[in-house]
Amino acid sequence: MFTVVSLASLLLADIGDSANPPGWFIFFALIIAVLGLWMNWRITAKAGFPGWYSLGLLAPFVGLILVVLFAFAEWPIEREVKLLRSMAARKPIPTR
């Protein structure tokens, strides 16, 4: 979302009148924001967290805190992999 804000500020600087952006700019910004949220939703869901955590990226400092937490927390998918590996280590794999 930080790139959306920086892209928006660059485009508004080129437009000139930042108080009244043109309709195409608002449409473009909404498309970019929705795509960004959708991608973040999928990433958090694949990591094993609830997808709605990506909505925290809309709040200025909540998004930064979530990124730091995701970086240093043990992901649910990692816990599942550890569990499956421990289960596989206890049971011998049948061979034919």
pLDDT digits 0-9 by tens, 32-47? 988 988 998 998 888 8
Distance, first Cα to last Cα, the chain: 53
Supply the pLDDT for residue 42: 92
In Å, what is the CA distance from 23 to each residue of 15, 27, 29?
A: 12, 6, 10
Whose structure tokens read 């991608």? 39
* pLDDT tier at 69, thresholds 50, 70, 90: confident
Report the C-alpha dihedral over residues 25, 31, 34, 35, rounded to 10 degrees: -130
Position 87 pLDDT exceeds 70: yes
pLDDT digits (tens, 9 = 90+) for 25-34: 888 888 998 8
Q: Report CA-CA distances (Å) from 85 to 66, 72, 80.
A: 28, 22, 9
Q: pLDDT confidence of 6, banded at 50, 70, 90?
A: low
Each domain of the chain, given as residue ranges in start order, spans 2-90
Token pair for 50: 């609830």
Which pLDDT band, with edges at 50, 70 and 90, does 17 fall under?
low
Residue type, 44: T
On the question of pLDDT at 89 being above 60, the answer is yes
